[in-house]
Structure 1
Amino acid sequence: MLGLFEALRFAFGTLSVLPVRVSRWDRPTAGRAMAIAPVVGVVLGALAAGVAAALAWADGGSLLAAVAGIAALAGLTRGLHLDGLADVADGLGSSRPPAAALKIMKASDIGPFGVLVLLLTLFAQIAAVARCFDLGLEKGAFALLLAGAVSRTTLLLGCRDGVPSAREDGLGAMVAGTVRGRHVALIALTTVTVLALGAYGLADSGGNRLPLALGTLVAAVVAIALASLLLTHCVRRFGGMTGDVLGAMVESSATAALLVWTLFAAATP
């Protein structure tokens, strides 16, 4: 029980700005923390959904609600994952050897590739969430919850055994190879199933329950597949994964999940 508590502190202390002090900093605790990363995603997604839904309910408009929801997700992580996405975009776009690309990613500034990818990602996320709020308060709120949970589930892919770290230090090195492959599959399946059941219960009537649940499953699968492809490319390109790669996986998978689920939500009365 103590190990679970320490893992929760590690997970929330490293993946959010919530006032949680990390009491243990070791690989076994890091592995347990990454295994429960989806829980962090659910909490952050629910908080962002609450902020956005409150604005939509107060007639603030779907666009303002979407901006607030995406901003809340970013703020709750200090922009950690967005920073990782920008750094990875600069590293991949540089076409430099692995060591030089990693040096570019570690620099404090953001290059043109990073700025472009960051802007397009945020625009896509805001547009998708705004469309969901146009379709209904519940659909808009669920979109943010889905994005938060699925994107943090992809962290397990980057932390599974067999995936090397590109650096000898940093958060990436701490969590690399700490989650067993069979645990990744089990946790991902459980998370996606719970989300699909949530979408099923979200529907107003029996006629649209299955399409929304199916949309959740498809959105999650597409998001996880995209994160896996990105991880594979980054490991091949950089010689391993880094904390920035994990952040890029979170943001790219969140975007994919939002876009796919929005299409299903729009097609479902």
Structure 2
Amino acid sequence: MPTTPPSPASESAPSVLDGLRFAFGTLTVLPVRVSRWDREAARGGMLGAPLVGLAVGGCAAGLGAAALFLGSGPLLAAVASTAVPAVLTRGLHLDGLADTADGLGSGKPAEDALRIMKQSDIGPFGVLTLVLVLLAQVAALDRLYDASWARGAVAAVTAAVAGRLALTLAARSGVPAARPEGLGAAVAGVVPVRWALAVAAAALCGAGAAGALLGPYDAGRAALAVLLAPAAAELLLRRCTRRFGGITGDVFGGLAETATTTALVTFCLGG
């Protein structure tokens, strides 16, 4: 993960592969060689973030379905699906969520709150937030896997995509960085708004199509999940930009987990 902002220019235009390397290299622990850190590569990486979600969600759904077929029951399948994204990100998004909760809950000025977020320990606000979010994710997947393995799998993939879509939208033009260094500074404002909306529209259509494999009602719930998840993340984003003066890598983690959880809960609405 980069610790300094990308350089403003580079010798050659980045390729699609450069953007995907940036996305997978910064958002997962997969052994991807990231050779470019300029803003053009960062833009491609943030535009490709939902594809990272597709890969992570596919792994989560695969393990959950496999556990279910082996007779583990829906609860253990839900735990397995929840564990996969944490492992593939080395818990960075969960850590970011906890740090963001500690910063917001500290009640201190922005500079002090950012300092609290950089500390290695987790405070009470962070612990409570982690517990509630993980419980919500496991409870939602348990219910969905109990209905059918396919519904749980579609929800796991859709939620992972929605979680990374929130990052694409958070990297849009006009959203500042809270610090001059770190992942937040690397990707802040790199995505034109119209491009971010185009990616969101593609994710919405993809989720609706995946849900349609289970029936029209599930198509509607999948589409609603992709609408509500970024909306919930947007509320957190606005709170953080007001509170901290911009985004950080920790805030990005908090946005991803907030959107993921919202999407899973949305799949459970209506029974």
Q: Structure 2 length normalisation: TM-score? A: 0.94
* Residue segments in structure 2 that go unaligned for 5+ positions in a row: 1-12
Local SS of the residue matching 2:175: coil
Q: Tell me the equivalent position of 2:161.
A: 149
Cα distance in 1 between the residues matched to 2:72 and 2:40: 45
Deviation at 1:263, TM superposition (A): 2.0
Deviation at 1:2, TM superposition (A): 5.9
Local SS of the residue matching 2:35: coil
Q: Tell me the equivalent position of 1:197.
A: 209
Cα distance in 2 between the residues matched to 1:154 and 1:62: 28
1:233 aligns with 2:250: no
More helix by share: 1
2:155–2:222 Cα contact (<8 Å) kept: no
Local SS of the residue matching 1:152: helix
1:14 aligns with 2:26: yes
Local SS of the residue matching 1:165: coil
Deviation at 1:92, TM superposition (A): 0.3
1:211 aligns with 2:217: yes
Deviation at 1:37, TM superposition (A): 0.4
Q: Tell me the equivalent position of 1:110.
A: 122
1:262 aligns with 2:268: yes
AA partner of residue 144 (structure 2):
C
Q: Tell me the equivalent position of 1:206.
A: none
Q: Tell me the equivalent position of 1:96.
A: 108
Q: Tell me the equivalent position of 1:40.
A: 52
Local SS of the residue matching 1:154: helix
Deviation at 1:195, TM superposition (A): 1.0
Q: Percent identity?
A: 50
2:58–2:157 Cα contact (<8 Å) kept: yes
Larger deviation: 96-105 or 13-22?
Answer: 13-22
Deviation at 1:220, TM superposition (A): 1.4
Counterpart pick for 2:179 among 163, 167, 178: 167
Cα distance in 2 between the residues matched to 1:245 and 1:163: 12
Local SS of the residue matching 2:15: helix
Cα distance in 1 between the residues matched to 2:72 and 2:130: 25
Deviation at 1:221, TM superposition (A): 1.1
Deviation at 1:89, TM superposition (A): 0.2
Say what the alpha-carbon RMSD is for the aligned residues.
1.0
Q: Tell me the equivalent position of 1:75.
A: 87
Q: Tell me the equivalent position of 2:229.
A: 223
2:203–2:226 Cα contact (<8 Å) kept: no
Cα distance in 2 between the residues matched to 1:258 and 1:32: 27
Q: Tell me the equivalent position of 1:49.
A: 61
AA partner of residue 213 (structure 1):
A
Q: Tell me the equivalent position of 2:6.
A: none
Counterpart pick for 2:98 among 86, 89, 92: 86
Cα distance in 1 between the residues matched to 2:36 and 2:225: 35
2:159–2:225 Cα contact (<8 Å) kept: no
Q: Tell me the equivalent position of 1:252.
A: 258
Cα distance in 1 between the residues matched to 2:47 and 2:177: 18
Counterpart pick for 1:27 among 39, 58, 62: 39
Number of residue pairs matched by the alignment: 259
AA partner of residue 130 (structure 2):
L
AA partner of residue 226 (structure 2):
A
1:121 aligns with 2:139: no
